[in-house]
């Protein structure tokens, strides 16, 4: 059985990937500070990816055939206020891992490598980030391409799940309290079901082909449109959802590119699996939540 090493195993994306990939691989996952709750099929190791010596030692001892680099500083505001820390984690940490062995290297990147001026960016579109987060993630892509002979850069957009703190959980929490809230009508992405993303990335690993992939939802949607579909799927009234325009004046201050939607046509054809629209993705999550309740 091939070995996969996943960084960021205590995070929402990394832990979901670890669970999913453990079906077909022997999975090791790293965490930085607090060890996550253990689960079957995954062995956890402590690792600070900014420590080059520690990275080399851990990777050498595990000797994985595949590395999935999901760890990152993803808080856009924190990165903007702490650019050196963001660079140390998102750039130097990536370089430490990419130079550590000859494994197939899968780098989880972001729609923030684009400026958001037009949306529907293809894999070949020229990146032009203006946030510190986006700039450091793009430089991470550059490090991977320069240091690895076999790699996949996997950009995603607006991942949603029922994990604590996720946008979907926040919207549902507001609905359950009966709160009327406003959502941006002019901020767009390609909202991505987390489980669907795991299947996409699993397919990338299975193919083992070098390149850039857009692993995201098949639908360009605004925050307002997303909130309406959440209301419909989970049977809450649309009256809880109000439209709000971000506008140019607030865009820079709030670090929100207008349109980070991704064109997934090329990647979908290449991978040969379904990329969910929002309704399909939300329905899967609701069905899983309902099934879980029924088993309690």
What residues of the chain score a pLDDT lower than 70?
249, 294-296
With beta carbons less than 8 A apart as the criterion, state whether 141 and 104 touch: no
- In tens, the pLDDT along 69-101 reads 999 999 999 999 999 999 999 999 999 999 988
Rounded to whole angstroms, how far apart are CA atoms 86 and 137?
9
Task: Specify the pLDDT at position 40.
Answer: 86
Helices 223-233 and 278-294, packing angle to 10 deg = 40
Q: Measure the CA angle with vertex 69, ends 191 and 27; round to 5°.
A: 105
Task: Specify the pLDDT at position 223.
Answer: 97
With beta carbons less than 8 A apart as the criterion, state whether 278 and 229 touch: yes
Task: Specify the pLDDT at position 296.
Answer: 38
Rounded to whole angstroms, how far apart are CA atoms 50 and 42?
23
Rounded to whole angstroms, how far apart are CA atoms 35 and 19?
16
The C-alpha torsion from 12 through 265 and 210 to 273, rounded to 10°, is: 60
Q: Which of 141, 158, 121 is nearest to 13 (CA)?
A: 158
Rounded to whole angstroms, how far apart are CA atoms 158 and 216?
8
Rounded to whole angstroms, how far apart are CA atoms 274 and 200?
8
Task: Specify the pLDDT at position 30.
Answer: 97
With beta carbons less than 8 A apart as the criterion, state whether 101 and 64 touch: yes
Rounded to whole angstroms, how far apart are CA atoms 40 and 68?
19
Rounded to whole angstroms, how far apart are CA atoms 163 and 171?
12
Listed by start position, the domains of the chain span 3-160+193-218+260-276
What stretches of the chain show up as alpha helix (H) in DSSP?
Answer: 12-21, 52-62, 76-81, 83-87, 93-98, 132-147, 167-176, 194-207, 223-233, 248-251, 265-271, 278-294
Task: Specify the pLDDT at position 250.
Answer: 75
Tokens of 38: 């253990």
Task: Specify the pLDDT at position 294.
Answer: 59
CB-count burial class (<10 Å; 0-12, 13-18, 19+) for 148: buried
With beta carbons less than 8 A apart as the criterion, state whether 134 and 141 touch: no
Q: Which of 216, 215, 5 is nearest to 104 (CA)?
A: 5
Q: Find the largest Cα–Cα distance for the chain.
A: 56
Under DSSP, the state recorded for 212 is E
Q: Measure the CA angle with vertex 177, ends 176 and 179; round to 5°.
A: 110
Task: Specify the pLDDT at position 37.
Answer: 81
Tell me the CATH number for domain 3-160+193-218+260-276: 3.40.50.720
Checking phi first, is residue 251 left (phi over 0); if not, alpha (psi -120 to 50) or beta? alpha
With beta carbons less than 8 A apart as the criterion, state whether 25 and 174 touch: no
Tokens of 59: 């990777």
């Amino acid at each position: 059985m091939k070995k996969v090493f996943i960084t960021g195993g205590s995070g929402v994306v990394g832990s979901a990937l670890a669970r999913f990939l453990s079906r077909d691989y022997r999975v090791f996952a790293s965490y930085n500070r607090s060890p996550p709750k253990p689960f079957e099929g995954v062995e956890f190791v402590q690792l600070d990816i900014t420590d080059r010596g520690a990275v080399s030692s851990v990777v050498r001892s595990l000797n994985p055939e595949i590395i999935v680099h999901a760890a990152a500083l993803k808080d856009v505001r924190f990165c903007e206020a702490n650019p050196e820390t963001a660079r140390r984690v998102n750039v130097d940490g990536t370089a430490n891992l990419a130079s550590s062995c000859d494994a197939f290297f899968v780098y989880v990147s972001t729609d923030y490598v684009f400026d958001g001026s037009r949306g529907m960016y293809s894999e070949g579109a020229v990146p032009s980030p203006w946030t510190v987060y986006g700039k450091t993630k793009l430089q991470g892509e550059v490090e991977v391409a320069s240091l690895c002979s076999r790699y996949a850069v996997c950009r995603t957009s607006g991942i949603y799940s029922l994990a604590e703190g996720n946008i979907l959980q926040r919207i549902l929490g507001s609905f359950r309290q009966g709160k009327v809230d406003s959502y941006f009508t002019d901020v767009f992405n390609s909202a991505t079901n987390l489980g669907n993303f795991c299947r996409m990335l699993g397919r990338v690993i299975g193919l083992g082909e070098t390149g850039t992939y857009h692993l995201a939802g098949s639908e360009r949607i605004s925050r307002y449109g997303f909130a309406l579909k959440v209301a419909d799927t989970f049977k809450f009234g649309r009256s809880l959802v109000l439209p709000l325009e971000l506008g140019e004046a607030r865009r820079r201050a709030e670090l929100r590119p207008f349109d980070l939607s991704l064109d997934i046509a090329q990647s979908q054809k290449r991978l040969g699996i379904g990329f969910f629209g929002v309704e399909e993705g939300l329905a899967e999550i609701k069905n899983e939540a309902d099934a879980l309740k029924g088993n309690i």
